[in-house]
């Protein structure tokens, strides 16, 4: 993706109204990923690049009524679709760039990012920004409802060794951005990398 925010907004804005209809079967994969994330009641979690808010219900269920759920996205149309779906009942929706979050240092326990990393203009700096808003020992989940090979096939492209989500690339990227990779799964039906915020 381009580092031009206008391009990202145009890409997702044009697809927002049909996004949930295009991927109707992803709900269980989101729920499973959130369950594996290990959130606890009362946790404060950000869904970074939340899109139409498909993870918000699972995140709310994980943190319970005493927890805090915030969904942040750069694209107004995506947030509008989340509102139409009633997902603002599960968490606060915030029009914001995850590269410059309007949040205090260390105010969160966790960040969930579905399909996020491929759209970050400067992955190292952007992951550092996510680390900034998470307390030491807090958690990060990078998720996609299908694995790297399946996603490449869907997009009609080859899976190459320089893919940012390949474990040999992602581990060092996270380590240089304030995170430690603790778990990595890249299967046909999901991609889930879990990391812990370094002290």
pLDDT tens, position by position, 76-112 = 999 999 999 999 999 999 999 999 999 999 999 999 9
Taking the alpha carbons of 164, 184, 27, 73 in that order, is the dihedral positive or negative?
negative
pTM of the model: 0.90
DSSP string, 11-76: HHHTTGGGHHHHSTT-HHHHHHHHHHHT--TT-EEEEET-TTTTTHHHHHHHH-TTSEEEEEES-H
pLDDT, residue 14, reads: 54
pLDDT, residue 9, reads: 66
pLDDT per residue as tens digits for the range 38-49: 999 999 999 999
Contact 140, 195 (CB under 8 A): yes
pLDDT, residue 4, reads: 56
Contact 125, 99 (CB under 8 A): yes
Closest CA to 181 of 140, 131, 151, 125: 140
pLDDT of the chain, 199 residues: tens digit per residue: 334 566 666 666 556 667 667 676 777 889 999 999 999 999 999 999 999 999 999 999 999 999 999 999 998 999 999 999 999 999 999 999 999 999 999 999 999 999 899 888 899 999 999 999 999 999 999 999 999 998 888 888 988 999 999 999 999 999 999 999 999 999 988 999 999 999 8
Counting every residue written for the chain, the total comes to: 199
């Amino acid at each position: 993706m381009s580092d031009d925010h206008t391009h990202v907004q145009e890409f997702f804005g044009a697809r927002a109204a049909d996004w949930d209809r295009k991927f109707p079967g992803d709900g269980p994969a989101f729920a499973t990923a959130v369950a594996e994330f290990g959130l606890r009641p009362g946790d404060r979690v950000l869904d970074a690049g939340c899109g139409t808010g498909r993870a918000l219900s699972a995140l709310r269920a994980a943190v319970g009524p005493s927890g805090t759920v915030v969904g942040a996205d750069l694209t107004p149309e995506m947030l509008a679709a989340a509102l139409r779906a009633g997902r603002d009942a599960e968490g606060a929706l915030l029009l914001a760039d995850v590269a410059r979050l309007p949040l205090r240092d260390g105010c969160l326990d966790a960040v969930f990012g579905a399909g996020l990393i491929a759209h970050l203009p400067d992955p190292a700096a952007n992951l550092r920004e996510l680390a900034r808003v998470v307390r030491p020992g807090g958690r990060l989940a990078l998720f996609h409802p299908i694995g790297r090979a399946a996603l490449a096939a869907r997009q009609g492209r080859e899976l190459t060794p320089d893919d940012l989500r390949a474990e040999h690339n992602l581990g060092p990227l996270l380590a240089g951005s304030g995170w430690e990779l603790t778990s990595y799964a890249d299967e046909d039906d999901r991609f889930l990398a879990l990391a812990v915020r370094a002290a």
